[in-house]
Structure 1
């Protein structure tokens, strides 16, 4: 077989008798070796460094031998059909990034990937596929948390975060204290902050809290989500709320789910709360805002997310 690309080269030296059809056996003309050297350089440049190729795709695709070492990002539902393992040969490898929808990997005929006839790469995940000459193997890397922003708040009327349409999961942590003892509230937006959801029954909330020596509960439909309902916090950093807020289905056309754990221990006393929320509309969200029942907000927040 002519050695037309790097992957055609044989690991047994005596089997490499040509380069791109140029004979390199001892009986060939001396001029062949100049041509062979130039062909070697071209094949290495194309087959190694030049083959780390990125492409964006939005439809079904058949992965070919020439896709060795390529990275393809799929932005829509797709099936990747793999050419026969014997054709691709051992050590062929190819990376699929699912960035918009799940991607199905479909090996040729009865061949398998991790012992399965097909495999799903979930949206937001990455899979590097390896061929051993007979079948395929992969390890799927789940979507990682990535930092969206870290901010210090200093006497602001609200904390707004927009441009979140890429994120299915969002996590916000930090410490915040109001200038006037007040409840901390959170509202969402489906038009990137042009307006926020503040209808009387936009959210369904359920809260269990402990303050001083008493437990209390709260449930019902509300105009906002509660980060912390304690209203006796002093206006200083020592009594800042420490909280963790988790969103799921944030950018999906389904019910947004949120849960928040918050606490403070300070001169004003102590308070612990766990709250579950649901946004009752199924419109996808892309922004949110933290507000105080009164006064301004200071402190710090970190927001990270998972795309999907």
Structure 2
């Protein structure tokens, strides 16, 4: 059953995967309105299933304490990152999930290499870390706005036309290092259309409770739409690797984007296949001794082992 479910999820997300080594033209290769023949009326149940599986595998991940997961979420403004995190992670244990949102780097962060601040927020073993925007900002926003590169005070030999090629290589190497040390990297790009972004911006203006989410700077960034699309396309082409592939999730329909994000994350955890730890013979012997002691403490009329009495007929009978 588990193998069949894993195959179905893998088949579902395969059209979203950026084949390592391929050349991506975002506008031509991925449709923001794609929905894989899934009907919206079925969306809520599919998301519940995904959230349930995610909770199950997260519990095993935490118990095994061998692997960690880094979930990178990238999108243009109004792409739906916050809502995706809120819905997809709704059923997990919050103690094992940590969300980091990266804003303009501080003076201290600018005094270090560009990956330094991201390395500070990596997951521990057994945990899931979510990057709401990630180290890929360093080849997206910084590329579209080269003045940000100047503020990083790079030495002269680190500048030049090859700076982006060098960064792609460094990011790929860093992610490979993480994967080889037991930290899986999941990367999702929420692919939003220009018209859907316009609609969402207007909604943020029209609804008073959403005004706080809107900034005039968002519209100024929208004027660089084509520049961002080129940067996204090159990023996907250069950094989708066998050890950390990109998944381009169609984001015009929020309900479908959340199903896809949950499926990608569940697929990653299924590949890890975490297991609850088992105890040895000595520990099992101690557990049996402790069980007998606790059963002997049952008051009159109470089941010796209430759980066993409920779940395993014939055991845990009442104390006379």
Q: TM-score range by the shorter chain?
A: under 0.3
- Greater share of helix residues, 1 or 2? 2
TM-score, scaled to structure 1: 0.21
Where relative contact order (Cα < 8 A, 6+ residues apart) is larger, the structure is: 2
- Greater share of strand residues, 1 or 2? 1
Q: Which has the larger radius of gyration?
A: 1
TM-score, scaled to structure 2: 0.21
